[in-house]
Each structure stands twice: as C-alpha cells, then as structure tokens.
Amino acid sequence: MAGKRVAVLMGGRSLGRETSLRSGRACATALEQQGYRVTRIDVGRDIATLLHTLRPEVAVNLLHGGHGGDGVVQGMLEMLAIPYTHSGVLASALAVRSDLSDPIFRAAQIPVADGLSRPDGAKAGQDLACAVVGDKALGVAKILQAPASDDRDRQPASSGSTHVLPAPVSPAIYEETRRHALAAHRALGCRGVSQVAFRYHDGTDGGGLVCLKVQAHPEMAETSLLPELAAHAGMPFGDLVKWMVDDASLNR
C-alpha cells in the first residue's frame, strides 16, 4: 500500500557494490514515485543498529555478492523481524555455492555442467537466461557481449551486456529453459525474483542445455535483464518493484 515505510538496502562492501547501488537507486526511485516512504541505506557495519532504530515495514534487499546475497543479511533481518524481499537464508546461501547447488539440481533432474567444454559436433555455446517472478518463469533471453570467460561464477548477464528478447532458439529449447529455470528456483527454495543462467550448445543430439547457476539476487536497474524480461511479459518496472514489496515476508 502507498505510504508504507520501506528501507532499500544497497551498496555494501562486496565486489558487487556499484551494481548494487544502481539497482538500489532505480528501485528506490520507482517506489518513491508510487508514494512509498523510502529510506535509502548504503549498508555498512552498523546496519543492524540502523535498522533497529528505523524499524521499516519492509526491507528491499538489493545487495549483491557477499553478506547481502549469501544469507547473512537475511539472517539479520529475520532476527530483527523485518519482512524482506528476495530469497531467505538457506536459498541465498545455496545459490552462491555451486558445490552445494549442483547436487540439488541433479536430484531435481536439472542438467548441470560437468566442466564447460563444448560437446563434440556442437556449435558455439550461447548464454541464455530466464527470469522467475513468484512461481512463474517468464521469457528467455540470449546474452550478447558477455565476458569472454568459462568461469561459471561470472554473471553472464552482467552490466555492459546486451540482451536479445526473446532468445532465438527453437520453441522446444525455449520451453525447456523456462521449465528448468522454474525447477531450479524451486529446488533451492528461492522466493521473490530470481534469474537463472544457462549455456546452450546447439547441434547436439540432446543434452545441449545446462544450468550454470541461480542468481537469487539479480541486478535490478531498470535496464537490467530481469526487469527487461518482466517488461517483455507485460510487467512494467514500477509494477515489478511494487510486487516485490508486496511479496516481502519473514521465514523465506
């Protein structure tokens, strides 16, 4: 509802600080335009004391990387009894550890990469990504100008990349990507929004699509991939951010 007191958590001390600040500023502005009473917080060591004093009705967690995306801040918000957005403690911690998330994906029959070498006879790999909002997989995008790296812990849809929506893949691969994205989101117990990264090697007899990772705390500037996919699905940025606030809760 309009007028709700919302703390937007951004910045922090991780390598994702600048990206987090962009996400936070964009979401804070969108909420202010809708009448929410927004406090923008560049998260430091005093964050627990500050939140205890402010007592916001909702915390929008737009931190990326360590402490904000790995379950630490989520645990603090649980102890302070402040409802928050995105995934909870366990799902956030699992999402940043491929050694923990991959066995969960395998158990859920989601294909994962056993090394990222290209299968024999396959064409060059494509980076794909699918957004999940609530319990719905949105569209699939192809990522262009991604970092030239096979490091699975790099975010394919990083700042500076461009996105092709919808991804130019066959209808079967498109739907398979959506199905695996929702399954991965559910398998880790994610909540709110997430972005699932895939690599697809065309020209194989099957098994060309693999899940690289779930980003439980994706970039959220207005031109970031997840908001673009949401807008493509008919959910403008302001509506998306409002949905996140309405979806906030404890015990996530």
Q: What is the CATH number of the domain that holds 48?
A: 3.40.50.20
The CATH number that applies at residue 188 is: 3.30.470.20
Asked if residue 59 belongs to a domain, the reply is yes
Domain membership flag for residue 142: yes
Count of structural domains within the chain? 2
Task: Say if 66 falls within a structural domain.
Answer: yes
Residue 251 lies in a domain: no
Neighbours of 35 (CB within 10 A): 11
Residue 26 and residue 121 in one domain: no
pLDDT at position 65: 78
User: Can you say whether residue 120 is alpha, beta or left, with left for phi > 0 and alpha for psi between -120 and 50 degrees?
Assistant: beta
> Phi, psi at residue 129, to the nearest 5°?
-145, 145
Q: Which residues contact 205 (CB under 8 A, 6 or more apart)?
A: none
User: How far is it, in rounded angstroms, from Cα 203 to Cα 107?
Assistant: 26
**184 and 80 co-located in one domain:** no
Res 161: pLDDT = 79
Residues present in the chain in total: 252
**CB 177 within 8 Å of CB 229:** no
Confidence at residue 92, expressed as pLDDT on a 0 to 100 scale: 96
55-69 burial string, b = 16+ CB within 10 Å, else e? Answer: ebbbbbbbbbbebbb
Do 124 and 202 belong together in one domain? yes
Assigned domain for 252 exists: no
Kindly state whether residues 161 and 192 are assigned to the same domain. Answer: yes
Residue 146 belongs to a domain: yes
Q: pLDDT digits over 212-241, tens only?
A: 999 999 999 999 999 999 999 999 999 999
pLDDT (0 to 100) of residue 230: 98
Is 40 in the same domain as 160?
A: no
Structure tokens, 53: 């004093």
Residue written as token pair 């398998």: 187
Full pLDDT tens readout for the chain, 252 residues: 458 999 999 999 888 899 999 999 999 999 999 999 999 999 999 999 999 999 999 999 999 877 788 999 999 999 999 999 999 999 999 999 999 999 999 999 999 987 655 455 555 689 999 999 999 999 999 999 645 544 454 444 455 678 999 999 999 999 999 999 999 999 999 999 999 999 998 865 556 999 999 999 999 999 999 999 999 999 999 999 999 999 999 999
Residues 109 and 83 in one domain: no
- The answer to whether the bond into 166 is cis (omega within 30° of 0) is yes
Q: Which domain holds residue 60?
A: 5-88+235-242
